[in-house]
A and B are shown apart, each in its own frame.
Chain A
Amino acid sequence: MSQTSLSVSGITVEVGGTIVVKKANLDVRSGEIAILMGPNGSGKTSLLRAIMGFPSYKIITGNIYLDSLDVTNLPSWERAKAGIAIANQAPPALSLKTKWLFQKIAEKYGTQEELSKVVNEIILQHLLERPAFNGFSGGEVKRAEMATVMLSKPKVALLDEPDSGVDVESTKKIANMIDAMAKMGVAILLVTHAGMLVRNLKMLGRGYVMINGRISQGGNARDLLKYVLEEGYRNFRGSDIQ
């Protein structure tokens, strides 16, 4: 069995005085695609941003490990350099040109040679001269964020709804990219609402459900998705949720 890359151990997260994640536990192994589902506002994005180390997501209790390294108290840029990358659901519009953002990330992670391949694969050429995320369509935002993750060559990728607002063809492309990263040994924690992306993934591992800041025990992702798509989240009660 592959070794655990990301281990979230009993973390409680506070944002602006409100507890948004409660004692969450979760493991993702190298090469595994773990999915995290849950209704809107259940805390999925907060969990991902806390793992990434965004300053306003304060970890009150618990620890986050990358391999055996405790990253709980590291700033986000150190976590990124240690191997955690995030594809944000709604990145801010930047004054920086898209090509500069990609180039600077590629320089930082030594992936300059892969830059044009990534840009071509994700069909981003037309965005390169534009300021990043300014006036991008939903799909363009997701693809550009995926590109930043791929150029970071991470050990752990946190993907926050990379399929929302994306057309069928692009969804398949994104699924292929996620599979390709998993094949290379990246541990992937994927937040998604929709079945289409998951159906196109080949390297699925465990699935988790999050409700009101609490997270379920890990189960088989494909079974869990099937259940959620048929029944919704109403039956996740009691022992299902920690």
Chain B
Amino acid sequence: MTKIDLKSERFREFLAEAEDILNSMGKGLNKLGKGVKAGIIDPAVLNGIFRSAHTLKGMCGIFEFRELADLSHCLEDTLDLLRLGRAALTDEILYSIINAHDLMAKILASKGSGDFAGEIEGVKAGLSRVHVKKTRPKEEFAKEFISVLTEYEEHRLRESLREGRNIFVVNVRFPITSFDKGYMALTELLKTESEVIATLPSAKTSHDLLFFDILIGTSRDKAFISGLVKEMADPEIRVLAEPSPKPDREPMLEVIKGTGQQSSRNGTLKRVSNTVRVNISKLDYIMNIISELGILKSSISALSTELKGDGEFSVYGLELSRAEKNLERKLSELRDSVLDVRMVPIGQLFGRFDTFLGKLAREAGKEIRITTRGDDTELDKLIVEELSDPLMHIIRNVVDHAIEAPAVREALGKPRTGYIALSAYQKGNHVVIEVKDDGAGIDIELIKEKAISKGLVESEYAGRLSRLEALELIFMPGFSTVDVVSETSGRGVGMDVVKENITRLSGIIDIDTVKGKGTRFLLTIPITLAIIQALIIEEAGRRYAVPLNSVVEILELRPSSLATVDAEGSITVDGRTMPAVRLSRFFGYPPSGRETAYGIVAGLAEHRLCLVVDHLVEELDVVIKPLSRMIKVSGIAGATDMGEKGTLLVLDVTGILEQVMREKKSGALKTAGV
């Protein structure tokens, strides 16, 4: 393997950029795949994919990332033949291209470690199976242009004619100082209504003007295109060819003179995209400052309260408190807007599954279609990345285990094509992601049998497990219902990894299944982990931060109150019974022995837990930082720095909830304890 300095800033940038390119290539492949099915191939999409491969090849060359360079080179060759129309885009070729894309993503993810030589050879063989058509003899047509066009441009010109579109030459001139902006804006505009086939520098010259001939193919007529671009550059448009009712008519040539003056007055020359790439660690740094400001603000608040109580300075106290309120408002605006910057639509992630699923289904010999909903639901960038693996795993499982083979489905009276629906929606401070299929559903009895045969649960307890408890078994390490290890799932990792990943994000998984009808996985994930509103509590002399997004309600527990904790460790509030745990006991500290206490009812999705603590202290915005890799404690999500007030541990309510449930069930399950 090539030696690469993994730490260097440039290499990191390369990785990020390469990832972006592969992402956009993936999106292009999606569109292309749909196009192939529908029989319409958008040349711009094909060309876009080709360009991605080309750019990637160049970048990999610079970084001596040979495997990737080699593969992208091969891919580029195949795509080149396709975009030039010298080979037909068949299903097989599309599949090879998708394979190449996936392998490149894999190589990139390995950051240069790992050996992919075998896989690369396989993919390259697939790519080379492209059938090259015989090139047609060149026709005598619009010689003045043909001679200077590249093969691709010529191909596009012919295709446009064949499809019966008008060919125009837009002759424009731009001041030499700003021609790039003007040109960009004009082509962007033209692209909305036409295909820009080629741009040729014109023979005309002037000391301060640049002339271009832009060759376009469009289904609009000349008047329309003139109208479209008049505002922009007021150019001169020439009709090179118009399709005729009779196919053998001579191409018509017409020249229209215009005034030709680029206008920069109307402000449309701005670049369409105004984005800045920011390293997420820089945003983390801003987050840290915001949280420090929050702590400073709370000391100002304490000072103003003190001043208000002081007769002599109470006026200043009031003033200070008013100023502090304004500061608070601005701070929360600042926090929200920085959080907003980190948000990305989950569609970015959903899009990846489209290609991935096609490949999986093909390999498993199944027919599956996927729909997505709520693509624009936003989540923290880091969370979206962390969700990729668990979701991919769930989908793999659905393809392998849930969706039946087409023949089986027909026999069951279901449509041949299986169906997976991915959807996302926001629910308070959380996002719910749903993966729904119309497959076989999960057979609870089969799950129990498997768990017994694998020694995960004693047979005598298995009978007593509730439906939900039995479903939980699929998340246990070592559980897999298929004995034959398929190529996609069953590589020694299973749903336990999914569970672990989701738990790490302070999220929770629920399953809903109907035998024979299908299964629904519900992932409830917090929108962000970067900065959170927290309730600072005190228990047995130690302070902790509890994320407010998981707090449902707070109870005051007095010895006489109705809500008391029974011997089983449960509490009943408004007729609803939930497990209750004294925080000090959970952590193994001696409790303070106070009589009054507070019950923090925490909940995620449908689950509830009452956490009993001594005091409530205050509410604060805190930035969660991970504890060291050296320390892993369930029930603690991380820590937050409070400046002079020291460091506070941030509780992971999901972790505590799961640990409590697990301890309650430990009689039934042998290996669940971690």
A and B, one complex? no
Residues in chain B within 8 A of chain A (CB atoms) = none
Residues in chain A within 8 A of chain B (CB atoms) = none
